[in-house]
Chain A
Amino acid sequence: MKTRLELAGVTKAFGRHQVLNQAWLQARAGEAVGLIGKNGAGKTTLLRIAAGLVRPDEGWVRWCGVGDDRSARIRYYGGEMTLPSSISGQGWASLFGVSVDERRPVGHLSRGSRQLLGLRVVLAGDEADLLLLDEPWEGLDPEGSAWLTETVGRWRDSGAALVISSHRLYDLHSVCTRFLLLEGGRCQAVADRELRPRVDQLAQAVRWRGRA
């Protein structure tokens, strides 16, 4: 499998706050990497470095086998709060050649609807090599979550590399092929057997809630 994204020895501090310390990340074509970690662990910073929006203090980022037009071949979604509120849903989607039937301004939509709109735009088409999604399941209802899980799986199967950060282990586990735990500014690989009991526990909780 071709490597699409490589980060090595990435260090980043904001003022005195050391967010990342020699972090690494690799994503290959056809795999989805799940990025997990506590709030403030640096998941968003790592993803924004991977997207080329934040520069590391040390270390390097390399996009491999991504076409010349990187803004078209790399897609990054930072969550519904990154959508501009004054533009209509239809207006935002049509900018990227995507059609949606939502005429209200983005700022008037519910959090879940905004999240779904942003995801529908960023996951449209099939011509990207690398997708970086930050907390994509946040705010989605079960129907939206199911759509997202299915769509992400389709992208992975079509050969794109994905890096997805989320606290929703159950959803993450259903699409990701590999997991990285970000702790103390460093990435550690998490074996499926370590994550599995926690996911089973969550699945049980979901079933229990469903019965209640």
Chain B
Amino acid sequence: MKPPSSARFFAAMRLHPPYALAILAMVAGIGIWTAAVSPAELDSGLGMVLFIQMFLASSGFLVRARRGHFDPMLVGGGDRIATVASHWIVSIAPGVAAWLGLAATGYILGSPAASSALVGGRAAALFIVSALAWTAGFALPRGGAGLVWAAVLLGLLLRGTDLLPSAAAWPVSSAMALGHALILLVCPFLLIGNHVLFAPGAICAAALLSSLFLLGTWRVSGRLDLYLVDRS
């Protein structure tokens, strides 16, 4: 018996339900078709992929770890942080692949949003969603963080909370930039489209905060007790 690499192990563990991957493939297909018909509409496909990534990245580590599913990878008190990092990479991989496929298509077709989807604000939106959905869903069942996040966004929408006016103005102070970064953490979708222009500092701060949440969760995971919880 040879233990596989963490990435291979988690890839075989089916962290995502097949129907979610089918929906992602369908959405990516629609996005590519839309971008082919009208390259300026790349953002609609990116937005849909970002929404699905909220659910896919929230693959839930702790629940399955406490069922003992990941025991072979965690035994011996080895480098748990590296194992958990692999779990994150495998969790976000399908969404990232779909995103890159869309962005590459847009780039080939000359979409103005394509370069930002690869290295700019749109790419930051993907990173924020990938990091925060996984972090928030660490101790929740699969898809849990996606559901909570979608419910928060829906709640804000129904209450008519207007995030845009305060975010639209370029920050003149670091406190304002931090405020804008927090808005982006709640609603990274604001980085998709051309209606709001965020200052690079606010985008970087949001990405940095997401990284800190992610790294903090990896670090905490190293100290967690993986006692067995019976699934019955």
Contacts and interface: CB of A to CB of B under 8 A. Distances in A.
Interface of A: 14, 44-45, 48, 51-55, 61, 63, 66, 70-76, 78-79, 81-84, 86-87, 91-92, 95-98, 121-125, 127-128
Contact of A91 (B12, B68, B227, B231): B12
A78 B1 contact: no
A61 B12 CA distance: 31
Given A71-B3, A82-B71, 12 more contacts: A44-B228, A53-B225, A71-B72, A71-B74, A73-B76, A74-B75, A76-B71, A78-B68, A95-B8, A95-B9, A95-B12, A98-B1
Contacts of B67: 81-82
Contact of A52 (B8, B78, B227): B78
B50 to A, nearest CB: 26
A53 B12 contact: no
Contact of B71 (A53, A73, A124, A128): A53
B226 interface: yes
12 contacts: A51-B71, A51-B75, A52-B74, A53-B226, A70-B76, A71-B76, A78-B228, A81-B228, A82-B228, A95-B8, A123-B1, A124-B1
Interface in B1-29: 1-4, 8-9, 12-14
A121 B1 contact: yes
A95 B226 CA distance: 22
A122 B68 CA distance: 14
A53 B225 CA distance: 6
B230 interface: yes
Interface of B: 1-4, 8-9, 12-14, 64, 67-69, 71-78, 223, 225-228, 230-232
Nearest to A47: B228
A175 B69 CA distance: 28
A88 B226 CA distance: 24
Given A54-B225, A86-B14, A87-B12, A96 B1 contact: yes
A34 B148 CA distance: 46
A70 B2 contact: no
Given A82-B68, A95-B8, A95-B12, A122 B225 contact: no
Contact of B77 (A14, A70, A97, A122): A70
B156 to A, nearest CB: 35
A75 B226 contact: no
Contacts of B13: 84, 87
A175 B202 CA distance: 65
The 4 closest A-B pairs by CB, nearest first: A82-B68, A52-B77, A70-B76, A124-B1
A68 to B, nearest CB: 10
Contacts of B14: 84, 86-87
A75 B1 contact: yes
A109 to B, nearest CB: 15
B77 A72 contact: no
Contacts of A98: 1
Contacts of B2: 72, 96-97, 125
Nearest to A93: B1
B3 A96 contact: yes
A54 B226 contact: yes
Nearest to B74: A53
Contacts of B3: 71-72, 96
Contacts of B77: 52-53, 61, 70
Given A75-B1, A87-B13, A122-B1, A96 B72 contact: yes
Contacts of A74: 75-76
Nearest to A44: B228
A183 B135 CA distance: 39
Contact of B75 (A76, A83, A96): A76
B229 to A, nearest CB: 10
